Chains A and B, each alone.
Chain A
Amino acid sequence: MKTKINISEKVSKAIQTAKVNAKKANDFALNTTEEVVTETITVATQWQQITDKALKAGIKLMENQQNLVFDTLETYKNHFVKGKQRFSKLFA
């Protein structure tokens, strides 16, 4: 009877330790996951800010480029129109 009691105690102890260990592992996994995810979120936010800045700057640059091209074309057009008028007057 004594041996039986010893074995059952041992088994229950082993189960208890396994349980405790599993709980510890779970807690550890939870903490590390939280840390990793929060770190990832902060890094992602930083990169997002950089991307946002780059995109905004790029769009502004594009807009300026477009305006530059169209301004130049419009001025050339005006020059041509004026030149044509003057020529037509000259040879009228």
Chain B
Amino acid sequence: MQLTCNSTKLHLQYQIKKTINLDIMATKKSKKENKFEHAKAIVKKINNDLIDASFNAIETTAKTGEKWQKLTAKMLKKAEPLTKQQINMVVETAESIKSQLETSTERLKHLVGYDHKMIENAKKKFNENPLVEKAEEMKNKIEKEVANNKFVKKAEKIAEKIKKNITNTIEEVKEKVENYTDEILAEEPKKTAPKTKKTAPKKKEIIEDTEPKITIIVEKTDVVNDLKVIKGVGPVLEKSLNQLNITSYEQIANMSTEDLTNLLNSASINAKIYDLEGWKEQAKLAMLGDFEAVKNWTKNNN
């Protein structure tokens, strides 16, 4: 009996222990479940908050965007007449400049007498005319023939030779004449000293020319004038005159033409080619300071 009692006790104990263990397990499970539920709730809350926040953010962004869009539209509407005006301005200016250019070209054409049709017609007629082409062909042919012709070449050579010969002969004749006149001048005073009075007054002059070549000496003066003012006196002649002590207008004005010719001849300057009377008159005018009259001086006027 005692044994059975013990066994039942043990069994009971075991049963109790088992139930206790089961209870503990149940409580543990419920705690875990609670925790999980709590976490789940938190996550859900966070998610809801996030959704709300993003919703709000999107809403505000859209609202502000709309506002900015409205502003842009308003500004664009306001700026529209400005751009329209700007475009009109540019186009109007361009149009007026274009019309001005057109009118100016028309007027220029009218001024110059440009007739487009007439010129085109003339060009056409000219180009279409067979005579022009033929004339050009003929011209080219003739040019070629002339250039290649032997006679032409010969004629050119002969012409050159003739030219040379003529110039040589002219120079020779010149020299001969000069020599001849020199000889006559040298011989004349010996042969016809008394006769010359009647026959050749020119020769007398020449005889007189030969003598004072040595005698005439011009006194020096301190006055130095620009002798180039006198017509026929250049820089070279002025130098040679200065070498002959002629430096002033007064000297030329006071000298006789004969003296002047003798003086120039003595310096181997051909006095015949110069208008010495004119020199004197111009020198007188220059002495008076009337350079305008000297400038406008001509042989016929004075």
Which A residues form the contact surface with B (CB < 8 A)? 19, 23, 26, 30, 33-34, 37-38, 41, 44-45, 48, 51-52, 55, 59, 62-63, 66, 70, 73-74, 77
Contact = CB atoms under 8 A, between A and B. Distances in A.
B96 A59 contact: yes
B60 A34 contact: no
B58 interface: no
B79 A41 contact: yes
Contact of B111 (A51, A66, A73): A73
A51 B89 contact: yes
Interface string B81-108: 1100110010011001100100110011
Contacts of A26: 64, 67
Nearest to B93: A55
A74 B111 contact: yes
Contacts of B68: 30
Secondary structure of the B contact surface, majority rule: helix
Contacts of B89: 48, 51-52, 55
Interface residues on B, range: 20 to 34
Given A30-B67, A66-B104, A48 B93 contact: no
B82 A59 contact: no
Given A38-B78, A59-B100, A66-B104, A30 B71 contact: yes
